[in-house]
């Protein structure tokens, strides 16, 4: 009944507008009267057909135009205090791990000292188990890590949004390094008794970028839908099964920077929920640079010379990130920057091509296009590289640096912990502000989301920064 009423309202408004336009034109433009009279008397069928086509076009556009997509709310998983992976616990775990040799322990110790991770990041459950399994990561402990993060995140999110699980139409679960059977999306369906016709997607292998890519995927599904829908997006990574006990130094780095984290979010295309939502998605961009061999191999899961599986973070990773970021922002810039900056950038590109010895391409100032920026906090070197490429000040990179210190690299969910940092800073985010989320992933992928805040930010009771925001920002990191 409601769609019929909306259709009649549109037809009535279109007719009213056409009548008003016709009256105005006849009143002020007498020659048009003769033309109109000629059409009505000699080509009445053509005139009526044109009017009918106009009304049908308006009706068709109203029903097929893409839905606006909103982020209703989100939650970040915060493990219990006894899971804090302090330097004391870390060194103790390294020393009692019979699979690690002294040289590997010393190497990881030096990496941890330079990583800028603080004393309150969280480790996976197997690290805190008794010695009966020699603290070896197992499928059981990986399942425990996934269940704890996913269930607590979704529980808090549903309680906060008052969304009934039966109203979830789309479910997307992303976990790069853990893909059990049944899938994690099936785990969620079973736990929350989702409808039999719920559309489920289980994503893996996309690394730290999968959080942004999952949100973009959800938005595309919602925009393409012909009906109002809600999408539940769950983003997690398995530290347990990505733990490396070998001697390859490029693989040992992951033990030093990756920490436990999970985020859940509900997105919707329901216009009735607009006032309750936090942000509206304005732009999204995904670029894949895997055609280049160095980009593809910059971060890759493989076996070492002893057959032990790990994720290798090569020395070329930082260079690859910088090169691919430049290519990514070239595409993004025209969509978000002011015309003056676009013109200046285009001019510098042309002149640098004609006179490469005299001119260099200018770097657009993205800080003027957005009030807030969540950049990839994958590591100290990554944050510094992004800052160099985009000419960001320390103030712009502050949320990424502080998130790395407090929570470590939580992989795909890291941008949500940065988002929570902004909200924990009371009064920092206002209605109408624009926010840019940027993340990298294996492959090599770069993803961007541009949001517009619908209302002033609020510090929710489950914000993971609530108990420590008074300690940030740090003077040094």
For 9, residues 6+ apart whose C-beta sits below 8 A from its C-beta are none
* CA dist 198 → 45, 162, 185 (Å): 48, 19, 11
CB 400 within 8 A of CB 472: no
In the numeric block, which tokens belong to residue 311?
Answer: 């994720």
Structure token pair of residue 132: 């009966």
Strands 279-288 and 445-453, how do they pair?
antiparallel
Q: Give the C-alpha separation, 215 to 341, whole Å.
A: 28
Q: Which entry of 67, 289, 328, 372 is annotated as an active-site residue?
A: 372
Return the SS3 of 66.
coil
Reading the block at residue 159, the tokens are 């309680």
Q: Out of 109, 248, 288, 466, which one is annotated catalytic?
A: 288
Query: Rounded to whole angstroms, what are the CA distances from 10 to 4, 15, 48, 65, 222?
Result: 10, 9, 18, 14, 23
State the Cα angle at 470 between 469 and 473, rounded to 5°: 75
d(CA 26, CA 32): 6
Give the Å distances, CA to CA, from 26 to 29, 32, 379: 5, 6, 68
Catalytic residue flag (residue 270): no
Whether 409 is catalytic is yes
- The CA distances from residue 309 to 50, 104, 121, 287, in Å, are 67, 16, 24, 28
Helix (H) or strand (E) segment spanning residue 416 = helix 414-424
Please state whether beta strands 170-175 and 299-303 pair in parallel, antiparallel, or not at all (unpaired): unpaired
* 53 labelled catalytic: no
The phi-psi region of residue 45 (left if phi > 0; otherwise alpha if psi is between -120 and 50; otherwise beta) is alpha
Contact status, residue 361 vs residue 348, Cβ threshold 8 Å: yes
Q: What are phi and psi of 181, to 5 degrees?
A: -130, 125
How far apart CA 194 and CA 234 sit, in angstroms, is 14
Q: Which of 175, 208, 262, 374 is catalytic?
A: 208
Is residue 372 part of the annotated active site? The answer reads yes
Task: Sort 286 into a burial class: Cβ within 10 Å, 0-12 / 13-18 / 19+.
Answer: middle
Q: How far apart are alpha carbons 393 and 388 in whole angstroms?
A: 9
Selected catalytic residue, list 143, 405, 409, 463: 409
Q: How far apart are CA 319 and CA 332, in angstroms?
A: 20
Catalytic residue selected from 202, 256, 376, 405: 376
CA-closest candidate to residue 414, choices 455, 386, 456 = 386
* Residues marked as catalytic: 208, 288, 372, 376, 409
């Amino acid at each position: 009944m409601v769609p019929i009423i909306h259709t009649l309202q549109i037809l009535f408004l279109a007719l009213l507008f056409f009548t008003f336009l016709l009256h105005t034109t006849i009143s002020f433009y007498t020659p048009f009267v003769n033309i109109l009279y000629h059409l009505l008397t000699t080509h009445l069928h053509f005139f009526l057909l044109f009017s009918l086509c106009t009304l049908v076009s308006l009706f068709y556009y109203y029903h097929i135009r893409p839905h606006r997509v909103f982020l209703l709310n989100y939650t970040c998983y915060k493990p219990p205090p006894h899971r804090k992976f302090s330097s004391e616990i870390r060194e103790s775990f390294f020393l009692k791990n019979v699979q690690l040799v002294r040289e590997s322990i010393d190497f990881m110790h030096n990496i941890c000292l330079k990583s800028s991770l603080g004393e309150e990041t969280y480790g996976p459950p197997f690290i805190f188990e008794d010695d009966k399994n020699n603290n070896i990561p197992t499928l059981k402990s990986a399942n425990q890590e996934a269940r704890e993060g996913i269930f607590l995140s979704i529980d808090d999110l549903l309680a906060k949004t008052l969304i009934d699980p039966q109203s979830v139409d789309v479910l997307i679960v992303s976990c790069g390094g853990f893909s059990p059977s049944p899938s994690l999306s099936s785990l969620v369906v079973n736990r929350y008794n989702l409808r039999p016709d719920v559309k489920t997607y289980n994503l893996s292998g996309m690394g730290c970028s999968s959080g942004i890519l999952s949100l973009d995927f959800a938005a595309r599904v919602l925009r393409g839908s012909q009906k109002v829908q809600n999408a539940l997006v769950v983003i997690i990574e398995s530290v347990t099964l990505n733990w490396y006990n070998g001697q390859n130094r490029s693989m040992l780095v992951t033990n030093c920077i990756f920490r436990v984290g999970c985020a859940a979010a509900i997105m919707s295309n329901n216009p009735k929920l607009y006032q309750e939502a936090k942000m509206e998605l304005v732009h999204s961009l995904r670029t894949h640079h895997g055609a280049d061999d160095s980009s593809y191999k910059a971060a890759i899961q493989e076996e070492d010379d002893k057959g032990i599986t790990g994720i290798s973070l090569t020395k070329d990773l930082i260079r690859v990130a910088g090169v691919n970021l430049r290519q990514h922002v070239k595409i993004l810039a025209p969509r978000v920057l002011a015309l003056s900056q676009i013109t200046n950038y285009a001019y510098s590109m042309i002149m640098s091509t004609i006179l490469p010895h005299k001119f260099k391409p200018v770097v657009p100032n993205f800080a003027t296009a957005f009030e807030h920026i969540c950049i990839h906090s994958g590591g100290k070197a990554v944050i510094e590289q992004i800052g160099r490429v985009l000419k960001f000040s320390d103030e712009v990179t502050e949320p990424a640096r502080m998130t790395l210190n407090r929570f470590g690299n939580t992989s795909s969910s890291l941008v949500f912990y940065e988002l929570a940092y902004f909200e924990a800073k009371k009064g920092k985010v206002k209605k109408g502000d624009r926010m840019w989320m940027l993340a990298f992933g294996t492959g090599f992928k770069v993803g961007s989301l541009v949001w517009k805040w619908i209302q002033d930010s609020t510090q929710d009771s489950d914000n993971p920064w609530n108990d420590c925001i008074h300690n940030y920002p740090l003077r040094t990191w």
